[in-house]
Amino acid sequence: MKRRNTHYSRRITILRTLIQISAFILIFGGALGIAASEIVLPVMIPAGNPYTTVMGAWQLLEIMVTAAIFPYLAIAVIALGSLIFGRFFCGWVCPFGFISDLVSYIGKKGRVSDKTNISLFKISLFIAGLFLFIDFSIGYNEAVGTSIAHYFGDFSREPSSIIDPTSSMFSMLFWYFYWRLYPQGLDKLSQIIKYPPTFWIRLVIVIIAIVSNYYIPRLWCRTFCPLGGLMGLGGQYSLLRVFVDPKNCLGEKCRLCEKRCPLNIPLVSIRGDIRHPQCTMCLMCAEACPTNAIRLRISLT
Amino acid sequence: MSKRKLSIRALLLIIGIISLVMAIKYEQWKFVKEILTKLIEFENGGLPTIT
């Protein structure tokens, strides 16, 4: 028997936002005196911020590979993380995802077709592949003594940081405003004009990445995040997943879940287990469902 | 379960477990701790060097 929600609830949004705020505080917990740990999470976390307490898997992977160290730990976190949780961490833990969600709550919530969505995912995969190729090229040449790191300048240890708004915001801009280390930052703003073009490129990317969420939620995450691409690739086969119960789903005449989904997943068309590379398991669909047909479940089949 | 899903899950599991075992063998968590406890400039591309 179908059970109807009598009133619209925001419980999941509130719970998710509270978890995102807690994760944000813990990730940058050094500011509160929390010591750095050895924990690696499958989200984009800047390593260059002095208050970071946990490491991002993608950042660890890049830093280790470019230092000619095989990144077993990062690979383990990405492989097992995507197998078990899919992109759950993107939706519930990622600090940049949290900022994106805050902007998209007040935004226009623009939609893209599923075909475009899949194309955007393929772009993120291409970006992941491109940076992995660069990383392994640098690492290999370091190992054999024919270093090519100098060609990449400041980006030789973490090439993807040029397009990564997380590291640009929480590392580059953090240090810019941290006047004790960069006295030319706050007290001599006129100096900023002399900064290298890469500073301006990164600043523009940060602004675009944040503002774009006003028009299309999580546009950077679904298009350019290299870790999101890798997690989405394995996440299609994850054990934890969103499940749309076909028995309770009202189908074509309802589609409230699809209208609410910030990542435009065609839930009604798919039904059953949602194996979509862009699904971050934010559960906005479950919140919108009038028959409680949508839930998270662990599926071994 | 389809063969494709089963094989990809098995592949991810094998890669993950082997990598985890090797990470434990080489104590790679110490590298994580080292990165997080020292001042690094890997992500500061675009800024002048610390003076």
Q: What is the DSSP string of B34-45?
A: HHHHS---TT-T
- Asked if A168 contacts B47 with a C-beta cutoff of 8 angstroms, the reply is no
Interatomic CA distance for residues A219 and A224, integer angstroms? 8
Whole-angstrom distance, CA of residue A129 vs CA of residue B12: 18
CATH class of A242-298: alpha beta
Residue pointed to by tokens 């280790």: A64
* pLDDT band for position A6 (cuts 50, 70, 90): very low
Which of A70, A77, A78, A83 is best to mutate for the B interface (most B CBs within 10 A)? A83
Read off the tokens for A297. 């479940």
Q: Average pLDDT for residues A239-262, to the nearest whole number?
A: 93
Instruction: Give the integer Cα–Cα distance in Å for A220 and A98.
Output: 12
The closest alpha carbon to B35, from A239, A39, A6, A13, belongs to A39
Distance CA A260, CA A152 (A): 42
And the tokens for A39?
């924990």
For B1-51, write each residue's pLDDT tens digit.
688 889 999 999 999 999 999 999 999 999 999 999 988 888 888 887 654
pLDDT value for A105: 93
pLDDT in tens, A78-119: 999 999 999 999 999 999 999 999 999 999 999 999 999 999
What pLDDT digit, counting tens, does each position of A190-210 carry? 677 778 889 999 999 999 999
Residues of chain A with CATH 3.30.70.20: 242-298
- What SS3 string covers A190-243? HHHHHCCHHHHHHHHHHHHHHHHHHHCCCHHHHHCCHHHHHHHHHHCCCCEEEE
CB contact under 8 A, B46 and A172: yes
Handedness of CA A185, A190, A192, A196 (dihedral sign): negative
A-interface mutation test, from B18, B38, B42, most A Cβ less than 10 A away? B42
CA nearest neighbour of A233 among A125, A97, A112: A125
Q: Is pLDDT above 50 for A1?
A: no
Residue A110, pLDDT score: 93
The predicted model scores a pTM of: 0.92
ipTM of the assembly? 0.94
A6/A249: higher pLDDT: A249
Residues of chain A with Cβ-Cβ distance to B39 below 8 Å are 50
> Which residue did the predictor score with more confidence, A5 or A139?
A139
Which residues in chain A are closer than 8 Å to B16, comparing Cβ atoms?
A: 75-76, 79-80, 83
Longest dimension (CA), chain A: 69
Percent of chain A with pLDDT over 90: 82
Q: Please answer whether residues A262 and A217 qualify as being in contact, where contact means their C-beta atoms are separated by less than 8 angstroms.
A: yes
